[in-house]
């Protein structure tokens, strides 16, 4: 079974969804799944240097009061998944293209899962600017990648258009919010759903895979 996860690296619900997906797979317990993390930009018009966090919250939510209400709900959900969100540490909302490029780089060397987790932790727990290339190179090093190679890669334009194209493809598929989980390229589940919500889709995918195997061996 293969799962494509469309997400953004600054999406708190995507971090929650990642934890719930892991629980769903543990609960299901039938075979293994491969996971590919796909790019989606919550703020595709974000300036390359990002934006002051308070300015961003004012523009997006109309002020601190509304933002506090929204992030309070997210924090409550995070605690249920052992994610101690520290939104007060975030000073800038970054442009996420480079973090998505790093995720693609990591996939080529088998470290995508580690890098995705590290990006979420860096941003949401430590307030690190994951739009800053030096910070991204340091993060990559902590995940076992070669920091110098990552820095050289980020300084180029490699995969820039691929990330943009992946984002556009998501929107053509009708994805307008993340996380969105697509199983075996056919079955979609949107939002940070509870683990049990994945089970029917997993069962359907497994049944189709079993039927295909039976057909091939008949």
Residue-wise pLDDT tens digits, 1-34: 999 999 999 999 999 999 999 999 999 988 789 9
- Measured CA to CA, the distance from residue 189 to residue 151 in angstroms comes to 35
Range of the domain at 21: 2-217
Residue 90: partners with Cβ closer than 8 Å, 6 or more residues away: 53, 123, 124, 127
Banded pLDDT at 216 (limits 50, 70, 90): low
Closest CA to 37 of 114, 101, 112: 112
pLDDT at residue number 213: 58
pLDDT for the residue 63: 81
Of residues 88, 133, 119, 110, the one with CA closest to residue 15 = 119
Model confidence over 134-178: pLDDT tens digits? 999 999 999 999 999 999 999 999 999 999 999 999 999 999 999
Residue 205 pLDDT exceeds 70: yes
Cβ-Cβ contacts under 8 Å for 129 (sequence gap 6 or more): 50, 91, 92, 94, 135
Residue 22 pLDDT: 97
- Other CB atoms within a 10 A radius of the CB of residue 4 amount to 18
Residue-wise pLDDT tens digits, 29-88: 887 899 999 999 999 999 999 999 999 999 999 987 899 999 999 999 999 999 999 999
Please give the pLDDT value at position 210.
Answer: 75
Looking at residue 217, its pLDDT comes to 53
Please tell me the total count of domains within the chain: 1
Q: Cβ neighbours of residue 163 under 8 Å, at least 6 residues apart?
A: 39, 97, 100, 101, 104
Q: What is the pTM of this model?
A: 0.95
Residue 152 tokens read as 């050289």
Closest CA to 130 of 143, 118, 145, 141: 118
- What confidence score (pLDDT) does residue 215 get? 46
- Say which CATH number the domain at 128 has: 3.40.30.10
Confidence at residue 54, expressed as pLDDT on a 0 to 100 scale: 93
pLDDT score of 135? 98
What does each C-alpha distance from 21 to 8, 197, 206 come to in angstroms?
A: 16, 10, 16
Cis peptide leading into residue 179 (ω within 30°): yes
């Amino acid at each position: 079974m293969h799962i494509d996860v469309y997400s953004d690296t600054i999406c708190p619900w995507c971090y929650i969804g990642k934890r719930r997906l892991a629980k769903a797979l543990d609960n299901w317990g039938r075979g293994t799944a491969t996971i590919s993390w796909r790019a989606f930009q919550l703020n595709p018009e974000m300036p390359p240097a990002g934006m002051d966090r308070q300015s961003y919250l004012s523009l997006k939510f109309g002020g601190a009061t509304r933002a506090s209400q929204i992030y309070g709900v997210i924090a409550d959900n995070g605690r249920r998944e052992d994610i101690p969100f520290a939104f007060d540490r975030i000073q800038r909302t970054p442009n996420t293209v480079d973090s998505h490029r790093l995720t693609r780089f990591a996939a080529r060397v088998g470290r995508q899962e580690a890098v995705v987790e590290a990006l979420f932790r860096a941003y949401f727990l430590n307030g690190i600017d994951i739009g800053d290339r030096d910070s991204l190179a340091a993060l990559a090093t902590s995940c076992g990648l070669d920091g110098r190679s990552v820095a050289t890669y980020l300084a180029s334009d490699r995969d820039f258009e691929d990330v943009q194209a992946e984002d556009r493809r998501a929107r053509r598929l009708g994805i307008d919010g993340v996380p969105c989980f697509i199983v075996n390229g056919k079955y979609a589940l949107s939002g940070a759903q509870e683990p049990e919500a994945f089970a029917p889709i997993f069962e359907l995918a497994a049944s189709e895979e079993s039927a295909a195997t039976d057909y091939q061996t008949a």
